[in-house]
């Protein structure tokens, strides 16, 4: 009999429907943030980083070309992480703090049947996706340029997945800080976010035992590229 198969199919269909609805809600909040000047500037800067480092990789010559390519991709990721990612996070913090826009999007989502708890999750994931995308896509394109200019395929296959994970972790960390800043200081969310990120970094210069987000991800990035160079 085929009746017992209906329940698993129904459960799978229900999960896929919920996933599609969650993605649509995230896209709704992401679309609302694209009007931010900081987010537009982040996209423009990401394009500039890609073009400048792609040209540098294309002009690389000599026996140490592979090492130079690795260095250029790493340097590009540093810029993408803290300039592009930072601008995206600042724009997200400002968008999260804009109560009128939040109320409009929340009302629209609730009208479509979403629960209030889903809105908080979607706002956070929308900011995460935005930061991750602006950091990850130019970096992956530069890896492709590096392979075309002499980087090994083995190096690319090692580094590319790690870059995706790195960008996702960075995006989530900055998104959570942006949301915290918007909730704690709706009038000055960007200033608070800057203090939360840069404050521990400045203190760590005098007291190295103090952890900071930039130093944490800088160390992660160094290990990522060291592993990729060892396998190239």
Chain segment 212-223, per-residue pLDDT in tens: 898 999 889 988
Residue 159: domain span:
3-231
pLDDT of residue 47: 94
How far is the C-alpha of 218 from the C-alpha of 103, rounded, in Å?
A: 37
pLDDT in tens, 132-183: 999 999 999 999 999 998 888 899 999 999 999 999 999 999 999 998 998 8
User: What's the total number of domains in the chain?
Assistant: 1
Among 11-15, 165-169, 201-205, name the most confident range: 165-169
User: For residue 1, what pLDDT band results from cuts at 50, 70 and 90?
Assistant: very low
CB atoms < 10 A from the CB of 37, how many?
11
Higher pLDDT: 58 or 99? It is 58
**pTM listed for this prediction:** 0.80
Task: Please tell me the distance from the alpha carbon of residue 164 to that of residue 8, in angstroms, as a whole number.
Answer: 33
The token pair that represents 47 in the structure block: 């394009």
Assigned token pair, 21: 């609805």
Residue with tokens 């009038």: 187
What would the pLDDT profile of 101-132 be if each residue is shown by its tens digit? 555 666 666 666 666 566 677 778 888 888 89
**Euclidean distance between CA atoms 99 and 56, whole angstroms:** 44
Give the whole-angstrom CA distance, residue 101 versus residue 23. Answer: 19
Alpha helices in the chain (DSSP H): 3-33, 37-58, 65-79, 85-97, 99-111, 116-148, 153-184, 189-206, 213-231
CA quadruple 164, 165, 168, 174: dihedral sign: negative
What pLDDT, on the 0 to 100 scale, is given for residue 94?
82
HSE toward the beta carbon, residue 226, CA cutoff 13 A: 6
pLDDT at 92: 83
Q: How far apart are CA 76 and CA 217, in angstroms?
A: 14
């Amino acid at each position: 009999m085929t009746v017992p198969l209906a329940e698993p199919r129904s459960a799978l269909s229900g999960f896929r429907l919920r996933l599609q609805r969650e993605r649509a809600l995230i896209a709704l909040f992401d679309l609302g943030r694209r009007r931010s000047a900081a987010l537009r500037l982040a996209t423009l800067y990401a394009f500039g980083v890609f073009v400048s480092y792609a040209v540098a990789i294309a002009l690389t010559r000599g026996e140490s070309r592979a090492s130079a390519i690795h260095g250029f991709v790493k340097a590009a990721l540093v810029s993408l992480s803290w300039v592009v990612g930072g601008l995206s996070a600042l724009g997200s913090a400002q968008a999260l703090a804009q109560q009128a826009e939040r109320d409009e999007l929340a009302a629209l989502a609730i009208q479509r049947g979403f629960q209030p708890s889903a809105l908080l999750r979607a706002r956070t994931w929308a900011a995460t996706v935005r930061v991750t995308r602006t950091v990850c896509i130019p970096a992956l394109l530069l890896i492709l340029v590096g392979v075309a200019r002499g980087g090994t395929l083995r190096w690319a296959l090692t580094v590319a997945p790690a870059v995706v994970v790195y960008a996702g972790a960075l995006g989530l960390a900055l998104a959570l800080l942006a949301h915290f800043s918007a909730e704690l200081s709706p009038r000055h969310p960007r200033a608070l976010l800057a203090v939360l990120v840069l404050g521990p970094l400045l203190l760590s210069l005098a007291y190295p035992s103090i952890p900071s987000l930039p130093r944490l991800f800088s160390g992660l990035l160094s290990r990522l590229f060291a592993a990729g160079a060892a396998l190239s």
